[in-house]
Structure 1
């Protein structure tokens, strides 16, 4: 029996637990995808703002657990993108609060689907993009962090789409996502929309995230680039399509 103050049903906790484990595995495997997979699934049973904030809580916790490695390996562009994300997150969160729940669920599912197409983009040269592309990536990522806890769709093609080492791409994306999620939580606290029950649920799910992330890291070194790109693309597409079909049913 769950405490009354917790206010989540057993079904909601079970669904969140499975979603956290699976999405964390994808994060460990690829360096991205946790929020893109997690939020559409959570939004089917939770209020969208709670789904977004729960994903932010989990992203911050797992990011802090790896912060020394991320800072050491990340490309310097991650700090520029992260700073712009911080500026744009409150705007995205205000947009989410002003959007009716059914429409917000639909938009979140569509954002997840867009990540599938981002993964399919052809690779570019390893050179760091210019200030305009970097700035646009940071602002778009911040807006999506506030609205859907999904900084990934703009950030993934920025790093994965370039011919740079996989560990650099993964560390850079994870660092941006940690900064983005922390900014989302700070904005939520300032707006008075972060509840203790969301934080408690995040702490409850964190062991599953740690396990999934460890399993993903373990598998990452054994999978060739074309295979993991295909795996992630299909997983992202499946999660987004499942969310869309649920909304249209």
Structure 2
């Protein structure tokens, strides 16, 4: 039975629990909310609405932190974010031209490649070249349009380098905030963004804020090696989940 904005009690309950857990991972690692939240929400909501709801939440939580994100993010995050804005609509269009199985295969392969990349030896602090930075931006934008998940290309780009954790997290989260904006703008342009989803996101926002703050508090208490292991485990779990869905 519908009890709020066209959503049932079960849908709301699933969304709130998933929001709290995924936001905790975001606060702990700097990423993972979309990777974890979209598949869970898709169990209770249509996949498109799951992606859009996640984008709305990512934009809202990013907006609450925008000052620190702008202050701490590496300059390359702005370049990648700009490319995400340009290529997100292309990802949506590509998704409309391919079947679900093909899309799932692409997502699974990218998730696996991100997991493999995070296992490689750490690189120096210096930013990779323009080609690598541009490739991450394009791929992240395509992933945003394809599945609402900009993280797999971005995480190894930053977490695989010997940067301070504050810069890594701020750079990733700034890109994800920009990606969420691009996803919602594309959905509005395509006429598939329901106002009820935005209201639903506002209802879920306190859970996201609480989970994110708790995760950030825990993150400040763990060592850098333990933090990087956690990042690898989240990416590995995402890759495994992607292949399970494909099978």
Q: Same fold (TM over 0.5)?
A: yes
For residue 82 of structure 1, what is the aligned residue in structure 2? 81
List per-residue Cα deviations over 1:163-203 (Å, max 9, x = no partner). 11110111111111111110111111011011122212211
How big is the shift at 1:214? 0.3
1:206-221 alignment, distance < 5 Å: 206-221=205-220
Task: Assess if the C-alpha contact under 8 Å between 2:159 and 2:228 holds in 1.
Answer: no
For residue 196 of structure 1, what is the aligned residue in structure 2? 195
| Alpha-carbon distance in structure 2 between the residues aligned to 1:106 and 1:9 | 32
List per-residue Cα deviations over 1:56-104 (Å, max 9, x = no partner). 1010000000000000111111111111110000011223344555765
For residue 55 of structure 1, what is the aligned residue in structure 2? 54
Task: Assess if the C-alpha contact under 8 Å between 1:81 and 1:138 holds in 2.
Answer: yes
For residue 8 of structure 2, what is the aligned residue in structure 1? 9
* Residues 236 and 131 of structure 1: CA distance in aligned 2, closer, same or farther (over 3 Å): closer
Gapped regions of structure 2 (runs ≥ 5): none
Over the aligned positions, Cα root-mean-square deviation in angstroms equals 2.2
List per-residue Cα deviations over 1:207-237 (Å, max 9, x = no partner). 1100010001111111112212222332443
How big is the shift at 1:120? 2.4
Give the length in aligned residue pairs.
Answer: 247
Task: Assess if the C-alpha contact under 8 Å between 2:74 and 2:167 holds in 1.
Answer: yes
How big is the shift at 1:111? 4.9
Query: Is 1:131–2:134 an aligned residue pair?
Result: no
- Normalising to structure 1: TM-score of the pair? 0.89
1:31-110 alignment, distance < 5 Å: 31-100=30-99, 108=107
Task: Assess if the C-alpha contact under 8 Å between 1:145 and 1:180 holds in 2.
Answer: yes
* Residues 157 and 246 of structure 1: CA distance in aligned 2, closer, same or farther (over 3 Å): closer
Query: Is 1:171–2:140 an aligned residue pair?
Result: no
